Amino acid sequence: MAEKVVILGGGPGGYVAAIRLRQLGFDTTLVEKNRVGGVCLNVGCIPTKALYKSAEIYHHAKNLESYGIDFQGEAKPNPQKIVERKNQVVDTLVTGVEKLLSSAGVKVVHGEGKLLTKNTMAVGDEELSFDKLIIATGSSSFIPPIKGVDLEGIVTSTELLDFTAIPEELIVVGGGVIGMEFAGIFASFGSKVTVLEAMPSILPGVDGEIVKRLKPLLKKKGIDVKTSMMVQEIHKEGAKLTVSMEGKKGKEIVSGNQVLIATGRRPNISGLGLEELGVETNRKGIVVNESFQTSIENIYAIGDVNGKWLLAHAASAQGEYVAELMAGKEASIGQFVPGCVFLFPEVAGVGYTEEQLKEEGKEYLTSKFMLGANGKALTMGEGEGLVKVISDKEYKIIGVHIMGAHASDLIHEGLLACEMGLHVEDLKHVIHAHPTLAEAFFESAMGLKGEAVHMVQSRRSL
């Protein structure tokens, strides 16, 4: 008889694990309280990228003259149609995941699951038994204890996805990936956006030089970023929301029509019966070992709920890895996880940042190729940005950071270089098509040894 595995949570970690387990011959049941696809597909990665695309098209429509095109009308964003398009994209993909699960033979049970023992779970009135369990319950928006945070007009990213009007002034509390992406989207739609970040810099984890070069570009696009700002209180004055905060220069006040709370996410671990069963947890989520095994041998935890990487693609990779471990295969999982931020321009990175290397006291080399010198970028009207490659002293690629058009696509050559431990010499004879944005990565990598043909070299290095 096939071994029974239950997966609690049908997001990008859970549903991928379920399908892979069926491929490997397990009796697999997926428990999901909402629609399959999780936060990423329903109220996260996918819907925000649909809004991002609408914002990008609107931006291009406003700048047609720069491409030599005359247009007599006036392009205007239509919130209802934008949201309808977003919903259509989401519905199409959710339906696709449902079909994948069905065709794989995964049993899907809808409801909230709670552990009874290490081998049984209650889902409503139904009791499921299993040999092994994968917890993939994801995370939820964290709402900080700010006075007035429950006032009308204050929303999380989930509510803002279904906006009915474009706010004249949007205040974003939190300068992480979620906050900055919404800031970019609504600034493109015409909102005056103010971002309030408690830390000294926005986008923690992103290479510091990239952030430094990004900030003036954000300002040009109508995004005012205020860092080292502790929000103290929000109160309503007529139709406006006023946010009181304190920074290095003392107390400040900013007003807007709407406030987005984007102060991070917390793992969904309450109500699952973990404490009663003795599953170890901490502030970040469920504690797991290198195999994503919890303190109870037959129970695993993947994705946001274990707090390692709050990224959909990391959850999916962990899901496949655990499935193969269960099947007794020699499973492996990538050591490098890329991160992407969908702004204007896009930002993406993988591997070490300069800040991490300095903190660890490691020697390194850097090379930068500016997209303003890339033919494809200029033809696209997207000359802002750069590709930065970091190597160790032996010229092994250990970090790649990109700001510019299609950075989220370009990063994967850098990911492959880092994951495979490639050196500059390994890339030297790899022919890149011309004209493409990918040439910028090649030039930046060759610049590490002073061999980039299309990069101005200092006379001292010649």
Q: What is the pLDDT of residues 278-291, one digit of tens each?
A: 999 999 999 999 99
Of 237-241, 368-372, 419-423, the one with minimum mean pLDDT is 237-241
pLDDT digits (tens, 9 = 90+) for 89-137: 999 999 999 999 999 999 999 999 999 999 999 999 999 999 999 999 9
Q: Is the pLDDT of residue 326 over 90?
A: yes
> Would residue 401 show up in a list of annotated catalytic residues for this protein?
no
Q: Between these two residues, 333 and 462, which has the higher pLDDT value? A: 333
Tokens standing for residue 174: 């939190």
Say which of 59, 313, 406, 434 is annotated catalytic.
434
CA distance 380 to 378: 5
Q: Over the chain, what is the mean pLDDT?
A: 96
Work out the percent of the chain whose per-residue pLDDT is above 90: 96
**Cβ proximity of 28 and 21 under 8 Å:** yes
pLDDT band of 238, cuts 50, 70, 90: confident
| Residue 34: burial class (beta carbons within 10 Å; 0-12, 13-18, 19+) | middle
pTM: 0.96
Residue 458 confidence (pLDDT): 52
pLDDT band of 220, cuts 50, 70, 90: very high
Across the range 174-193, mean pLDDT stands at 98
CA distance 222 to 214: 13
Across the range 56-79, mean pLDDT stands at 93
Q: Between these two residues, 456 and 432, which has the higher pLDDT value? A: 432
CA 348 to chain centroid: 10
Residue 461 confidence (pLDDT): 41
Q: Is the pLDDT of residue 71 over 90?
A: no
Q: Which domains does the chain have, with CATH numbers?
A: 4-141+266-326 (3.50.50.60), 154-263 (3.50.50.60), 339-461 (3.30.390.30)
CA distance 19 to 16: 5
Phi, psi of 244 (to 5 degrees): -100, 135
